[in-house]
Structure 1
Amino acid sequence: MPTLPFSESESHQHRLAAESFGSDAERYDRARPRYPDAMVEAIIAASPGPDLLDVGIGTGISARPFRAAGCTVLGVDVDPRMAAFARRHGLHAEVAAFEAWDPAGRTFDAVTAGQTWHWIDPVAGAAKAAEVLRPGGRLAVFWNVFRPSPEMAKAFSEVHNRVLPDSPRNPWAKPAVEEYSALFTKAADGIRQTTAFDDPQQWHFTWERPYLRDEWLDQLRTGGDAGQTPPTKLEELLAGIGAVIDAQGGTFTMRYTAVVVTAARTRTGPGPAN
């Protein structure tokens, strides 16, 4: 299920939801999708140097490929359990809400956020990014968007409607990119409002991953929607989804598009002078 537990306009106001993912950090790290190498390489190539701040570092899923590519990574996360997990795996992470985080004079070549910027106030977050970015530094916030085949989307949607007929949102009823599009617009608008960046762009990177039945159900348990579903209904929903995958031979391939909303800090905008 796409991790959009609240409407796009208000998600950053729900800090308790943002802090809920650390309740099972091991599962989160094991099950959540990664990001394509091409996306990581593009962000690095467009940044003036290797010093990177990862906002909402979580368990380090988005930070590790940047570190592996040669970046020096510092993470910030509102959830101390997530930050502790990241530290145990060799990453540097500090605990704070990004908008209130004290950079203590530190500056960076890139600020990234993987699957977390919708929990950040889009204007205050962009302003904080401008504050800590060096001139020409890059803000790059990104999300993985699910793109199941029409057949799988229809089958998943039917299960969701049967188990949760009164749910205000069926995540499979329409293409996920439509659900996420408001997030992309909101992120870009927040960047523009700071007047510290050039015009934001969207970059798209397609990739795919095969899933076994239990791998996919494990991943579904980590989503924001799962956290808002009564436990008995969640188990019924997962059983129905599992039956759909069983009918496909116990495995299927999920296609993704990693969408990056990105902009470079201009040399004339607010923020550090050097």
Structure 2
Amino acid sequence: MSAVTWHYGYRYPASRSISGGRFGTSALEYDKFRPHYPSELFDKFEALGPVHVLDIGCGTGRVALPLIDRGMNVLARLGLGLEPDARMADVARSRGVPVEIGTFERWDDAGRRFDLITCGAAWHWIEPEEGADKAAHILRSGGTLARFINFRLLDDHALASFDAVYSSYAPEVTTDGRPPSYLDADDPVSTSTSSSGTRSHVLRSIREFSTDEWLGMIATLSDHIALGSERLGALLMVLRDLTDNDFDGRLRVTSCTHVVLPRAFEEPVALVLYLHFESVLTSLDSPAMAWAAELLLLTCAYCSVGRVDSP
């Protein structure tokens, strides 16, 4: 493998120490300031009714906990999180999420299989080909691999103002707030032989960040952490003055979540109907009723799989 491989819009580093220890130095700040994922996303997961769930790169539990809050208490019994940083994992464990330490590629699944694999803001730390093969291996038939990551969009005035600061204090760091390159990037999971294809979409909402919220959030980004405490502190000081004085301490931000799901996930309601009627088919005594239910079952299957293959 070469030193770096572009995937999902981020550089995959040859040294795993970057992801395996960097965020843990500020685990509580990460948990406090990183934006949450939209409830709409978890509604989709809940509709599938998964029994065994694996959350890759679970961090402090920001994906696992909303699933548990939706009544998926099974996650705490039969599911688990996988996290390379012990300090991040400790925060998740303190909230009731079972976590195993390790990188996804090297993790021993011990024969366990999953209905749903989630990966929030972590897939770019995984070696692309190995990750795709591993996910296909541990997913049950019909299981779902859901990958998603948040990003933010600032208006042109804010971007120009911030760019001027970054060019002086951190020219190697990209200003947070512009469209990410991974929206148009090739996806090795989609093109792997074990995949039936994927589709991506972006969930959007408008929110305001206070100066403290914005600076707290960007201070947890890996490229900002890499600046070191002295350079990062100087950058944040200038950005604080700029945000307070030029934007009255409030930034209007388009908050986005880029979601990559299997094609068959595009019709969650049909999938729920499919699973429901599949479970009751064997309880029907009348051959005519069983035939009608079988027809409805096939219709649901067509809606949940075949329909999304059209452009």
- Shift in Å, 1:249: 1.5
Change in CA separation of 1:191 and 1:77 when aligned onto 2, cut-off 3 Å:
farther
User: What is the distance in 2 between the residues matched to 1:58 and 1:255?
Assistant: 24
Partner of 1:234 in structure 2?
A: 232
- Answer 1 or 2: which has greater helix percent: 2
User: What is the distance in 2 between the residues matched to 1:116 and 1:88?
Assistant: 21
Listed as ranges, the gaps of 5+ residues in structure 1 are 1-5, 266-274
Listed as ranges, the gaps of 5+ residues in structure 2 are 265-311
Kindly report which structure 2 residues correspond to 1:146-185, keeping only aligned pairs within 5 A, or say none.
Answer: 146-164=152-170, 167-172=171-176, 175-178=178-181, 180-181=182-183, 185=185
Per-residue CA deviation, residues 58-96 of structure 1 (Å, 9 max, x unaligned), is 011122112222331410011111111110111111001
- Indicate conservation of the 8 Å contact 1:57/1:77, yes or no: yes
Partner of 1:116 in structure 2?
A: 122
- 2:36 alignment partner, one of 34, 37, 40: 34
Instruction: Give the AA of the match of 2:180.
Output: V
User: What is the distance in 1 between the residues matched to 2:120 and 2:256?
Assistant: 13
- Shift in Å, 1:48: 5.8
> What SS does the aligned partner of 2:172 have?
coil
Per-residue CA deviation, residues 246-267 of structure 1 (Å, 9 max, x unaligned), is 02221223212101112269xx
Instruction: Give the AA of the match of 2:61.
Output: G
- Indicate conservation of the 8 Å contact 2:173/2:223, yes or no: no
> What SS does the aligned partner of 1:100 have?
coil
Partner of 2:55 in structure 1?
A: 54
User: What is the distance in 1 between the residues matched to 2:93 and 2:263?
Assistant: 29
From the CA coordinates, give the structure whose radius of gyration is larger: 2
User: What is the distance in 2 between the residues matched to 1:160 and 1:168?
Assistant: 8
Partner of 2:66 in structure 1?
A: 65
Instruction: Give the AA of the match of 1:16.
Output: S
> What SS does the aligned partner of 1:99 have?
coil
- 1:78 alignment partner, one of 75, 81, 84: 84
User: What is the distance in 1 between the residues matched to 2:115 and 2:5?
Assistant: 32
- Indicate conservation of the 8 Å contact 2:60/2:88, yes or no: yes
Whether 2:254 is the aligned partner of 1:255: answer yes
> What SS does the aligned partner of 1:245 have?
helix
Instruction: Give the AA of the match of 1:111.
Output: I
Normalised to the residue count of structure 2, the TM-score between the two structures is 0.75
- Indicate conservation of the 8 Å contact 1:28/1:219, yes or no: yes
User: What is the distance in 2 between the residues matched to 1:251 and 1:224?
Assistant: 24
Count of residue correspondences? 252
Change in CA separation of 1:12 and 1:198 when aligned onto 2, cut-off 3 Å:
farther
Q: Give RMSD over aligned pairs.
A: 2.2
- Shift in Å, 1:12: 4.4
Partner of 1:91 in structure 2?
A: 97
Change in CA separation of 1:52 and 1:40 when aligned onto 2, cut-off 3 Å:
same
User: What is the distance in 1 between the residues matched to 2:255 and 2:49?
Assistant: 28
- Shift in Å, 1:23: 1.0
Which structure has more relative contact order (CA 8 Å, sep 6+)? It is 1
The percent identity for this pair of structures is: 31
Normalised to the residue count of structure 1, the TM-score between the two structures is 0.84
